Every structure is written in C-alpha cells, then in structure tokens.
A and B are shown apart, each in its own frame.
Chain A
Amino acid sequence: MAGTSIMETLFQRDLDDLIKGIRQQQIKESLFISKAIEEIRREIKSTDLPTKSAALRKLSYLSSLHGADMSFAAFHAVEVMSSPQFFYKKIGYHAVTQSFNDDTPVILLITNQLRKDLNSSNQFEVSLALECLSRIGNVDLARDLTPEVFTLLSSNAVRVCFKRLVENLESSEPVILSAVVGVFCELCLKDPRSYLPLAPEFYKILVDSKNNWLLIKVLKIFAKLATLEPRLAKRVVEPICEFMRRTEAKSLLFECIRTVLSSLSEYESAVKLAVVKVREFLVDDDPNLKYLGLQALSIIAPKHLWAVLENKDFVIKSLSDGDYNIKLESLRLLMSMVSESNVAEISRVLINYALKSDPEFCNQILGSILSTCCRNLYEVIVDFDWYASLLGEMVRIPHCQKGEEIEHQIIDIAMRVKDVRPALVHVCRNLLIDPALLGNPFLHRILSAAAWVSGEYVEFSRNPFELMEALLQPRTNLLLPSIRAVYVQSVFKVLIFCAHSYLLHKENISSVNTDNLASEVPESVFARMSCENSDLATSEAPASSEQHDSFNPRNINQSFGDLSIENGGDATVSNSQASTSASLGRNSFTHESIVNLFNIVELALGPLSRSHDVEIQERARNVLGFTDLIEQEILNPVVQGEENLARAETEASRVVKLMCDAFSEELGPVSTSAQDRVPVPDGLLLKENLADLETICGDIQLPLSSSFSLSSTPLGEAVDISRTNLQSKDETEPSHESTSLLAEHRKRHGLYYLASEKSEGASNDYPPANDPMSQDKLNDDAEDLLKLTEQSLAPKKKPNQAKPRPVVLKLDGDEISVAAKKPELKDDLLSGVVQDVLLGNDGVPSSSRSNRSENLSGKSKGKEKLSTDLSLETKENVPGEKMPDHVNTSSRRSKHRSHGKERRQKGQGKDGEEKEDNGQKEKRKSNHHRGKHKAHQRADEPLNVVAQTPVIPDFLL
C-alpha cells in the first residue's frame, strides 16, 4: 500500500508537467485533457496527501481554464482543505472556492472546518477561510458561521457588526475604512433608505478623505441617499463641485459627474459645471472618455435636455465614429432629443446616415426611429403625411430589415389616424407598384400591409386600375402564400370599388340624361360625363349621401384632379385604356376599363384558384365567383334588351352595393380587453354540462345548412341574398357535397362547432386588422373609442401648430408608459434590522449597541439579556411601524427573522411572561406563532403613532 503511494508520488505529473503537456500539443488538446482527468481521478483517491493535493491542483487548473468538470472531486477538496499544513490547505481552499456552489452536497461538511480555520491563530488561514466564505457562503453557512466572523472581527482592530461598522467609519486606518465603505456601498444599492442616518459619517469621509477609491464609493452612496433626502443633496452638492473643479483623476471626476447628473439635477450650477466637464470628455481623444461623456449625457437627457442640445454637434459627429458602442450611444442620445418640432429634421439626418452605414447599424437606426416615433401613440408626430412618406422611404433603404415593425405601424396609423389615409394609400401604391421590392423577402410583410391598406382604403386611391395591376403583377408569385392571400383580398376590394363606382356613374347619367341611351354609344356618354364632372358631383350628392360617408370618391377625385395628369404619366402602360381614361378624367370608369379590369382579374387569378394554399385558393375563387356573377349582367349590356338591361343593372348594382357595404364597414383598432366588457347574456350558464345542449344544437344547425345550399343555387332572384349571406359568413366555397357532409358532421359533433351567428357582421377580410367579434360588441367598442378619443384630445392642446394634429385613436388597452415606476423597495431581510440599529444609534447608543450585537451574533446570548432591554426594544420598534413610506419594518421582521419575532413578543409581553421565557427555552418554538399575531395586532394599535423619518442630525443639514 505504502509502496504504491510512493510510486505515485515519484511518478506523478505535477502541474508544470501538465501545463507543458498541454502546450506541446503532441496530441489533441481535448484528448490530452480527458486523459489527464482520468489520471487525476485515480490519483485523487490516493491516501497520500501530496499526491492528492497535486491532483487537486491540476484539476482546478483544468477546471478554471479548460472548463473541466470538477464536481466529482468535491469531497477530496474538503479532505485536502482540512489538512493542517498550510501548503495543502491553500490548494484545498482554492479548489473549494473555485468549484463549490449551493448545489454541492458536501458543502455541509465544510462548516466545521471553516469554523476551525476562522478561529485559527494563523492569520493567513483565517483569511483563506474568509475568502472562501465570501465566495461560497449560503444561508446555512452564514447562519452557522456568523458568530465566528463577528468574534473574529471584534477580537482585533476591526470590530464588526453594524454598530462597530459604523464606528469604523471614523477609523483612521485607510484599509479598514475602505472595506467598511465598500460594505455600505454595496448595501446602499439594495436598500438606501436604511442607511440615511449614517449620512454624517459619509459626509465626513467625503470632505476629509484623500483616497480616490474611497471617494468613488462614497459618491455612489450619496447618489443613492441624495434622491431620498433633499436636505442632504443640498449639503453635498458643494463638496462634489469642488472635486469636479480640482481633481485630476478621471474616474473620480466621472463619478462626480454621474452623481450630479443622476441625483443632484436640481442644482443648476452643479449641473452646468458637470456639463462643462462632460464636454471636455467629449472632445477628448480617448474613446473611453468619449463614450462615458455620451453616457453621462444620456443620464441627464430626460431632465435637462439643453445639455444634450448644447452638445448636439458632438453627438451627431460621433454617429460616424469607428466604435460601434459610441455610435449606439449617440444614436440613443439623438433619439432622446426627439420632440415634435425636430422629429422631421432628426429623422432626415438619420435616414441619410442609415443609407451610408453598415447593415447592422442601419437597422439599429431604423429600429430606434420607429420605436421613438410610435412612443405613446405617436406622441411626437404632428404631420402624419410626412410620417407616412418617411415609412415609405425607410422601405427603400437597401439594408432595411425592419419589415415587421413597419408593417405594424402602417396598419396601425391607417386605422388610428383618419386624416393620414390618403397620403398613406399613396405611399402604399408607390410601394406596391415597384416590382423591385418584391424581390426582397424582408419587405414582404410591409408589402402585405401596403396591400391591405390600399384595399381597405381604396376610395382614396388616385387610380384603382393602376393599383389593380400592381396587386396582380407577375412577380407577386415571389410572396409567401399568406401575404399573397392578402393581395387577393385587396384585389377583391378594389374590384368591388371599381364596379360600384361604375354603376354609380351609370345611374347618375341615366338620371341626368333620361333620354340618352347609354347602351347605344357608351363611349360618347362617358366622354361627356367626364366633361360634366362638376355637374355630376352636385347631382350625385344626394345619391352618395346614403352611402358611407367616406365612400364618396368623387369629392376626393376633385381635390386630386390636378394631380391626375402626372399620375397618368408614370402609370404602367400595359393597360393603355385604363391609363388613358385615367388621364382623361380621373373618374371615368368607362365600360372598356371595367371590362378590361375584369379581364385582368380573371386572367391573373385563374391559376390561383388551383393554388395549393387553401387561403389563396379560397379567396381567389371568391373573387372569380364574384366576377362571374357581375360580368354577365352588367358588362354586356349591349347584348341584352333595353328592359332587361334596366332590370339586370338594378340587380347587379344591388349586389355590388351590398358587397360594398360589407367592405366599407369601418375597421377600428380593438382593445385587447374588449372581450371582457361584453356582458354575459342572461340565461347563459357557462359552467353547465354541455351534453344537454346536443338537441338544441341540432336545431340550430338546420337553417345553416339550408343557407349553404342556397348559395349554390344558379343565379337568380335569391342570388343577392345568398351572396351577402355568403359574404358575411366565412366566404366559404359553395359546394354541394361538401356542405351536406359538413352539415352532417355538424349534426353529429355539433358541440365542437362554434355557434355560427357569432361571426356575422364582422367582415372577415384581413386577420390582423380585425378581431372576430359580435356586432353588439363592435358597437359597444365604438362607443368606448369615441369616449376615449375625446378624452385623449382634451388634455392635449398644442397651440403653436400651423396644422392641427390629426386624431389618433386610443384604447384603454394601450399602454402609455409614463415615467418609470417608482422602484418598489425590496423586501430586504437586512434592512429592517439595519434600520433599527441605525435609528437607535442616536438615541441610546450604548445599550442598543449591545442589543444589536446579541441579535446578530446568535440567539443564545440574547435571551438572558432580554428583560433588561425591554423598554428599549419597544421604543425602537414603534416608530418603524407607523412610518408610511418606511416599508413596514415590523411586519417584515416578523416574517423573516425568527429571533426578532421572539424578542418582540417578549417586548410586549408582560413581566410574568418574561420570567417564564427565561426559564423555558424549549417552549420557544411553540410561541412563535403567537408572537407573530401579536406583532400584527400591535402594528394596528393606534396608541403609538409617532410619525418619524430617519433621524439625521441637524448639524449636518
């Protein structure tokens, strides 16, 4: 046995050999390491300490630098750690520190070892144990070892526990001071309020200390404290300014600047000085300082925008810096500068910049423009026409990959802002008509939004024929099926719009010139008609008034009349008739142009009706079915007799009008919470067993199936009814066999179908814009919307605008981010305790100190002294409980700190109980609950209301 261990010792590879081996790389590194680990696994089991420790050291090397797993050696690490010899102990501690975490099972084994080492006479062993504890300490270890740490700390120069810690703030020794300040700095980040009473000590350090490390920490503390206590801020602002003026150290200077900008921003002179210093940073050659300068500016931006505006040149210049971080920071700053007045200018600069920059940053720019502009429902945007064109421009930037955001915003503003629709439709037309854009898959989603907008708001289109061509151009086959379906649906809408306008014309013509026979020379009629445009407009006014308000193309046409000529010029020429007629007079839906339109649609959608994608197929078939229906009746009037014509036309126009009405239903944005506001109808029991409903369901299905069969009857009298029926339903494809099958299926599994009535009323054309909801809900919501828009308009009066800002619809579901929420104070385990100590500090220093030390250093000692501390305890606790913004110290304490509970219970308990307690320590546990209750009761008692804020001595303030 001994022999093998000696052999191992002699021939073991030590760390140097291992490192050399890895570096020589005769075999592959990973292979070498796995071999080495195998070796270590064997060696580490050795009983010989040198072998074991060498193996452990090798393992910790491999673990820290090559990511080897060393959890298997946890126990061995503990063994080595417990060696009495410092050399091995050190290796063991290093391994433990490196590898242990809360999940390591053997962590429980080291408690005693740590305790022993913490009590060791060798200071280096103590430091090893402390270092280790600082790294791996968990709740158990902390509970068990805190007394040792405290005795340790109170035994020599540094005496700790909070009371002592506080005393050490006055220590003359820099090391101790910096350690203590470090502790408080870390604590302050978690819960600054508890440490307010220590402000005088910190202030003293701030004024006296010459140590920059220390000052930085103290400044960090003050940055936290000053926001809580304005009087304190007033006090520290002068010394901090003094530092800013005279310090050489950039790190201290930066900390001062940051403190002033973040916490002392009310002090004009300090901020001004800080901004001057920031400017020095910005012009410095060191990229670090430049970056930090920009960062400092972004801290101050929300409160003092002038500071940023003053340095605008630098900010814009650093957009072209070589460093991505600096670029990003300056972009953020630029975005924070955005306001109503300069949004156009800044966006212009940025868009130009985006054109030149690399793809990643380009998209970063676009993304931040988009997110800034849409903030709080497009708060900064006054001129939505401009914004629409900006969106159009963004799409044209070659690197643009922000399809999703732009898509969303196009649809969003189209729905929310009525006034922008004409401009937006124009922008969308330009996008749709460009075949090049179809080649970029990132833009497809934008195109889908554009297609939806131009279909939904086709009445604003200057030239629907051109739009139709754009929607049907051959390159659309590059689109995804889902997007193509949107295209087809838009085609449908445009088609209906054209047909409707055409019929409207005809009607009016026949009403104006009754003796003119339209069927004989339609061209001449339409030529005349276009001359009589103005006449028509007036004569049509009553006719169109029964239509939806916005559905009055003529008025719009007139306003755009001057544009129509140039418009006709750049239109695609393939449909010469359409474009010529467009140039003749915007509004001439001549017979030919309509025929041509129908031809194009049929030609383009024919192949799609056999598409494999159901959505496209279905929609294409819908359109084709419609054209079939209309074409025969209205487009071939010459063939039919005159009386026939009149009759057929009225019928066709009825069909078209119904369809039109279906589509002209205004789609508004719907709040996500809208569903909740629909009242549950009387007699609807949602939780009842649904099995009973089967018979009722059967009844409901019957009329449904009949409506399906209706729709498939040959065109006749009933056609328009069935059409509308069909339209308002899901526009499903009529087919006899399948419907009957479906009906049967419904009958059998009726329960699994949604009640069909629900989908009525909501025209189902574009999923993202439209929630399936019942009619009454729509009305309900519309009212809400109306109310909300009124509300949103009222407070926002912007007097200095040449052009009034259009209405932006708001929903209560929309989140409008106001200022950042007040950070909730964390329920901190420590803070309650700490507060007690620090508050008690000024009143009764000596006894409360002893009190504290007991409380922290364990229960056992505390118990005996309880009775003496009684009065004190109550005194201390009372104010804490009644402070409103003081996060109820007592309840927190009673929850988290078991001994705190005991003590309180005792505090209020009467004398007899104390004696009992002193005697029976075993009964403690059963008393816990009672203690808790009492603590709460006490908090409710009105007796001891002494409102009190943390005590800060007046000499400071």
Chain B
Amino acid sequence: MIHFVLLISRQGKVRLTKWYSPYTQKERSKVIRELSGVILTRGPKLCNFVEWRGYKVVYKRYASLYFCMCIDQEDNELEILEIIHHYVEILDRYFGSVCELDLIFNFHKAYYILDEILIAGELQESSKKTVARLIAAQDSLVETAKEQASSISNIIAQATK
C-alpha cells in the first residue's frame, strides 16, 4: 500500500502531503526533511526509486514538482509510477495544463482529487473520466452550498444593520 504521498517543489517547499499510515507531526516533518534531501539531490538520469528505511519511495518530476509516494518493499514500483502519472493527468485535465501555482492556491482541490483516486493507500478509481465527473459534481454541490451560505450571511448582515 501507499504509506504517504508528498508533493515537493524543486526548492524543497512542500505542496501537498497525504498520510495513509499514522505518523505524528514530528515524524512527518522529519520524513519530509529527510526525503526532500535525498530526492532533490538526485540527478535527472537516475532511476526513480529510492530505498528508504525499509520502504521504497517512488518519485517522478513534473516540471518543478516532485511527486513522491512511499510504498512497501513488495509493491510494484512501475505501477506506482503509473498512478503518479494518472494523478498528474487528472490534475492537468481539471485545471487545464496544471502548474505549481494551481496546486498552491487550490490545495484543497488537489486533495479532493487525490481522495478520489486513492483510498486508504490503494488505487480506487482508475478511470480519468469518472474522477473528472465526480469532482465536477462535488464542485457544483459546493457552489450551491456557498451561494446559500453567502445569501444567508447577507440576510443576517442585512437584518443586524
């Protein structure tokens, strides 16, 4: 299973973290520090796998972002690479040629999409279309809820004036 997902920029800034195994906050920052040290220093023509504390970390670089996933020894590295690519493609489709800034400002959306793809560290949905459809449906739900909320707060605001 996937133990955690990290998105780290080339400068070592963290853009997204998702933990499927329990780690304390302290461990989390230690893991991030350790891994970004290992991964960011690796050259471009090396393989995409790093052995780390008895696990394997599969990473892939897209533009300025490193997508990293930590898996068990017996997991299939190539499959994880494909999952990463799958995620990136869906992000790309959702944001329309995704860039780092999209992920920075819509970090929650990046999470929601990831939640559609992975559940409890396993691939949940392998169809890009389905993910896109579900995300769109949720977005519209959110929109209506938001509108309602703003209208309610407007009403309150009006009323208290």
Contact = CB atoms under 8 A, between A and B. Distances in A.
Interface of A: 2-3, 6, 9, 15-16, 19, 23, 48-50, 57, 60-61, 63-67, 69, 85-88, 90-91, 94, 101-102, 124, 130-131, 134-135, 174-175, 178-179, 182, 186, 189, 211, 213, 216, 220, 250-251, 254-255, 258, 286-288, 290-292, 322-326, 328
Given A101-B22, A288-B48, A135 B120 contact: yes
A554 B28 CA distance: 69
Q: Lowest 6 CB-CB distances: which A-B pairs, in order? A: A251-B78, A87-B145, A287-B47, A134-B120, A323-B46, A291-B47
B130 A175 contact: yes
Given A86-B142, A175-B130, A325 B119 contact: no
Interface of B: 1, 13-18, 20, 22, 24-25, 28-29, 32, 43, 45-51, 74, 76-79, 81-82, 104-105, 107-108, 111-112, 115, 119-120, 122-127, 130, 137-138, 141-142, 145-146, 148-149, 153, 156-157, 160
Given A179-B124, A251-B78, A19 B104 contact: yes
Contacts of A290: 47
Given A131-B115, A288-B81, A322 B45 contact: yes
7 contacts: A3-B160, A15-B108, A50-B149, A64-B18, A67-B29, A69-B25, A292-B77
B126 A178 contact: yes
A131 B119 contact: yes
B142 A182 contact: no
B50 A325 contact: yes
A3 B20 CA distance: 42
B47 A325 contact: yes
Contacts of A291: 47, 49
Given A65-B14, A288-B48, A325-B50, A213 B123 contact: yes
Given A85-B148, A182-B124, A290-B47, 10 more contacts: A61-B107, A64-B17, A85-B145, A94-B111, A178-B126, A186-B122, A211-B126, A251-B78, A254-B78, A291-B49
Contacts of B108: 15, 57, 60-61, 91, 94
A288 B123 contact: no
B122 A64 contact: no
A770 B141 CA distance: 78
A86 to B, nearest CB: 5
Contacts of B104: 19, 23
Given A178-B123, A250-B78, A288-B81, A87 B149 contact: yes
Given A67-B29, A85-B145, A86-B141, A216 B79 contact: yes
Given A102-B22, A213-B126, A323-B47, A251 B79 contact: yes
Is chain A's binding surface mostly helix, strand, loop or mixed? helix
A135 B20 contact: yes
Contacts of A326: 46-47
Given A6-B156, A323-B46, A213 B79 contact: yes
Contacts of A9: 153, 157
A612 B47 CA distance: 55
A50 B153 contact: yes
A325 B51 contact: yes
Nearest to A214: B126
Query: Which among A15, A174, A182, A254 has the greatest number of chain B C-beta atoms within 10 A?
Result: A182
Contacts of A189: 74
B78 to A, nearest CB: 3
A484 to B, nearest CB: 40
B1 to A, nearest CB: 6
A258 B76 CA distance: 9
B123 A182 contact: yes
Nearest to A294: B47
Nearest to B150: A50
B107 A65 contact: yes
Nearest to A133: B120
B146 to A, nearest CB: 5
A19 B138 contact: no
B22 A251 contact: no
B49 A325 contact: yes
Contacts of B18: 64
A255 B79 contact: yes
A130 B124 CA distance: 13
A124 B138 contact: yes
A19 B105 contact: yes
Given A102-B22, A135-B120, A178-B126, A288 B142 contact: no
B25 A182 contact: no
B117 to A, nearest CB: 11
A9 to B, nearest CB: 6
A292 B111 CA distance: 30
Contacts of B127: 174-175
A65 B46 contact: no
A251 B71 CA distance: 15
A86 B78 contact: no
B115 to A, nearest CB: 5
A882 to B, nearest CB: 33
A301 B150 CA distance: 66
A198 B10 CA distance: 46
Contacts of B50: 325
Given A61-B107, A325-B46, A124 B79 contact: no
A216 B81 CA distance: 13
A16 B130 contact: no
Contacts of B48: 287-288
A85 B124 CA distance: 26
Contacts of A322: 43, 45-46
Contacts of A124: 137-138, 141
B130 to A, nearest CB: 7
A36 B142 CA distance: 26
Contacts of A50: 149, 153
A65 to B, nearest CB: 5
Contacts of A87: 141-142, 145-146, 149
Contacts of B77: 254, 288, 292
Contacts of B1: 186
Contacts of A6: 153, 156-157, 160
Contacts of B81: 251, 288
A97 to B, nearest CB: 8
Contact of B145 (A2, A63, A86, A174): A86
A64 B15 CA distance: 9
Contacts of A131: 115, 119
Query: Which among B25, B50, B125 has the greatest number of chain A C-beta atoms within 10 A?
Result: B25
A292 B104 CA distance: 34
Given A102-B22, A124-B138, A291-B49, A216 B76 contact: yes
A288 B76 contact: no
A174 B124 CA distance: 11
B126 A88 contact: no
Contact of A175 (B20, B125, B153, B160): B125
B126 A287 contact: no
A6 B159 CA distance: 11
Contacts of B46: 287, 322-326
Given A65-B17, A88-B145, A16 B105 contact: yes
Contacts of A250: 78
Given A67-B25, A134-B119, A288 B78 contact: yes
Contacts of A258: 76
A175 B129 CA distance: 13
A63 B26 CA distance: 11
A288 B141 CA distance: 42
Nearest to B15: A65
A325 B38 CA distance: 12
A841 to B, nearest CB: 24
Contacts of B138: 90, 124
A298 to B, nearest CB: 12
A130 B119 CA distance: 9
A61 B106 CA distance: 10
A227 to B, nearest CB: 13
Contacts of B156: 2, 6
